[in-house]
Structure 1
Amino acid sequence: MTVTRIEELSRSRCKIYLEDSFAFVLYKGELRLFGVREQEELSEESYREIMQEVLPKRATLRCMNLLQSRAYTESKLRSKLKEGGYPQESIDSALAYVKSYHYVDDLQFAKDYIVNQAGKKSKRVLEQDLIARGVSRNEIEAAFAEAAEKGDGPDELALARMWLAKKRYDPAQADFAEKRKAAAFLSRKGIRAETIRKAMELAGER
């Protein structure tokens, strides 16, 4: 395989192109170690060591470092590694390792997220957040089912009443336009129409 281009990425790292396609990122010291030079052949032995040993190990360590600061879904970790220039094989290897020790568990992530955010967000918004983080619909449904069973899910009526109270909404004083504005506000928050009607009826009551 011919090294067709070496592109400096930072003071210490370079992007390596093999046969005119981006292949991986290496530290400058590794260029010397593996004899990586533009317009020269990269030996099969060096390529195999880079792809099977150096990069999978580095990708795994990158995952572990990221997980030390906060929880990630599998999808978000994959995105982080891809941004770092890791090849797909190294990403798969790193994710297989962290998943085998349950360092990454999308179902548990969804359960924790729901419990932590239930007092601030509606079910619809929580679902959208989890989908955006790469959690599957099956895992989201399972997480909500468990939260409901334990009483940890969002109480949308309580949320809607709290938001209306913060807006100082008074059904006795509100005209049609104000009622419509309040309903639209709750709808944007992800509250269902039936719950909106009930919350607006109960607004002002203790």
Structure 2
Amino acid sequence: MQQIRIEPVTKTKFRIYLDGEFAFVLYKSELARYGIKDGGEISDEMAAKIKEETVLKRARVKALKLLGDMDRTRAELKDRLMRSDFTEEIAELALAYADSFGYLNDERYVENYVQSRKETKSRREICAELSRKKVDREIVERVLEDCYGADDSCTAILKLLKKRHYDAEQMDQKEKQKICAWLARKGFRYGEIRKAMELPDWED
């Protein structure tokens, strides 16, 4: 048997702690249905039943809804589920459920991410953004190798130069160096920057 402690979140929503550890969230009607009372006790079998019948079902629905709103990485989805008061165990089970339908695919996510940003961002900048999203580095490097080439860097630099109204003939050396430094901070290599800035008719 496990000791129950109930912590109100709202008038109808409650966090349930079993033997001092957070277990799951239940709503008022569910407390009555399962006979959950503050200070009472619950068997391991009943706790497992609640997780399976109610909590996991809710987590699965939440996971699919989040993926329906927008594509997410495994790490992002897990983080969102845990911030929605699901334990790591339940979050992992919900991820597995979404995975079984093919809805969760970090490689596909990275491919879409790179394709949609490679014309305005450097390879290094994209890599850093995906790293912050906790995508496996091997996946990122493999996709970048396949989807991001030298021509993409050049295209991205030219678009950024156009955005900054770059004019090779009108700008002095100091202004060019300033733009060059700005592009370098965005992760482009000096050789790529120099080549793009010296290309004739870049605005076309």
Same fold flag (TM > 0.5): yes
**The one of 153, 157, 160 aligned to 1:156:** 153
> Would the alpha carbon gap of residues 162 and 198 (structure 1) be closer, same or farther in structure 2, given more than 3 Å must change?
same
Aligned partners of 2:74 and 2:106 also within 8 Å? yes
SS state of the match for residue 97, structure 2?
A: helix
> CA RMSD for the aligned pairs?
2.1
Cα shift at 1:19? 2.2
In structure 2, the residue matched to 1:105 is 105
Q: CA–CA distance in 1 between the matches of 2:136 and 2:20?
A: 36
In structure 2, the residue matched to 1:62 is 62
- TM-score, length of structure 1 as denominator length: 0.88
Aligned partners of 1:169 and 1:203 also within 8 Å? no
Amino acid at match of 1:136: D
SS state of the match for residue 92, structure 2?
A: helix
In structure 2, the residue matched to 1:16 is 16
In structure 1, the residue matched to 2:169 is 172
Q: CA–CA distance in 2 between the matches of 1:168 and 1:117?
A: 21
> Would the alpha carbon gap of residues 123 and 179 (structure 1) be closer, same or farther in structure 2, given more than 3 Å must change?
same
Cα shift at 1:146? 2.8
In structure 1, the residue matched to 2:121 is 121
Amino acid at match of 1:87: T
In structure 2, the residue matched to 1:2 is 3
Q: CA–CA distance in 2 between the matches of 1:68 and 1:165?
A: 36
Amino acid at match of 1:3: I
- TM-score, length of structure 2 as denominator length: 0.89
SS state of the match for residue 121, structure 1?
A: coil
Cα shift at 1:29? 1.0
Residues paired across the two proteins, number: 202
Amino acid at match of 1:144: L
Amino acid at match of 2:167: D
Aligned: 1:183 with 2:184? no
Deviations 1:12-46 (A, max 9, x none): 31111222222211111111111211111123332
> Would the alpha carbon gap of residues 44 and 168 (structure 1) be closer, same or farther in structure 2, given more than 3 Å must change?
closer
Percent of pairs with identical residues: 34
> Would the alpha carbon gap of residues 180 and 124 (structure 1) be closer, same or farther in structure 2, given more than 3 Å must change?
same
In structure 2, the residue matched to 1:194 is 191
Amino acid at match of 1:2: Q
> Would the alpha carbon gap of residues 65 and 172 (structure 1) be closer, same or farther in structure 2, given more than 3 Å must change?
same
Greater mean alpha carbon deviation, residues 175-184 or residues 99-108: 175-184
SS state of the match for residue 37, structure 2?
A: coil
Matches within 5 A, 1:46-57: 46-57=46-57
> Would the alpha carbon gap of residues 203 and 32 (structure 1) be closer, same or farther in structure 2, given more than 3 Å must change?
farther
Deviations 1:49-91 (A, max 9, x none): 1223322221111111111111111111100110011122211
